[in-house]
């Protein structure tokens, strides 16, 4: 789900060029998606999804990459307040899905174990799991949940219970039910 944010008309001073800048009120529609991440990585030539903190310029540029609104005055981004930035940051961090993926036995989530994750790697996962590229415009947390589910469901290490294990589990369940119901059979 995209985020909408309204930036009021502003008067700003550009110290670099020693001049005043005037912006009109602008409503921005922003979407944190694989498309946005890919645009950002194309410009900055490094993974967006890294633990390395981003500079103010890199963070502001990601907001530009998230912008769906057409023909935005570039000076509008200079008028973003700390409150706007905070709301956008919360939106980026917020999960947009009801799905949760449990960590594996190593304590890592399935698709994030020790690799540098770039947009190209995510596009590879989409290809590997036959996820249509139209999903690149989904909210990023939803897309990653789908990829992680696909990884878990396609995991060849996912053990199926053998016949003996199934029978033992059924005996244990039946014993619990008999005990709970005080029944002999």
Q: Are 42 and 68 in contact (CB under 8 A)?
A: no
pLDDT at 152: 84
Only one residue has tokens 């000076």, namely: 75
- At 17-27, the pLDDT tens digits run 888 888 899 99
**Alpha carbon 147 to chain centroid distance?**
11
| Cα→Cα distances 181→105, 111, 169, 176, Å | 36, 44, 18, 9
Q: How far apart are CA 64 and CA 86, in angstroms?
A: 15
- Residue 104: both structure tokens together: 């594996």
Quick one: which H or E segment has residue 65? helix 56-66
Q: How many CA atoms lie within 13 A of 4 on its CB side?
A: 2
- Residue 83: both structure tokens together: 């409150």
> Span 20-45, mean pLDDT?
95
- At 67-113, the pLDDT tens digits run 999 999 999 999 999 999 999 999 999 988 888 776 654 444 544 55
Radius of gyration for the chain, computed over Cα atoms and rounded to the nearest angstrom: 24
- Residue percentage of the chain with pLDDT more than 90: 56
> Span 121-139, mean pLDDT?
95
Q: How far apart are CA 122 and CA 144, in angstroms?
A: 8
Q: How many CA atoms lie within 13 A of 56 on its CB side?
A: 6
């Amino acid at each position: 789900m995209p985020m909408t944010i309204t930036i009021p008309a502003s008067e700003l001073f550009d110290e670099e060029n020693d001049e005043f800048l005037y912006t009109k009120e602008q409503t921005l529609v922003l979407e944190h998606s694989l498309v946005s991440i890919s645009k950002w990585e194309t410009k900055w030539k490094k993974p967006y999804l890294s633990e390395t903190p981003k500079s103010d310029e890199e963070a502001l540029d990601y907001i530009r990459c998230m912008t769906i609104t057409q023909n935005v005055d570039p000076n509008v981004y200079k008028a973003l307040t700390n409150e706007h930035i905070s709301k956008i940051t919360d939106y980026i961090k917020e999960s947009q899905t009801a799905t949760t993926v449990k960590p594996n036995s190593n304590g890592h989530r399935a698709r994030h174990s020790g690799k540098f994750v770039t947009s190209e790697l995510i596009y590879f996962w989409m290809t590997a799991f036959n996820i249509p590229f139209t999903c690149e415009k989904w909210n990023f947390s939803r897309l990653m949940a789908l990829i992680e589910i696909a990884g878990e469901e396609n995991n060849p290490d996912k053990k199926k219970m053998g016949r003996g294990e199934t029978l033992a589990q059924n005996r244990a369940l039946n014993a619990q039910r008999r005990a709970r119901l005080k029944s002999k059979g």
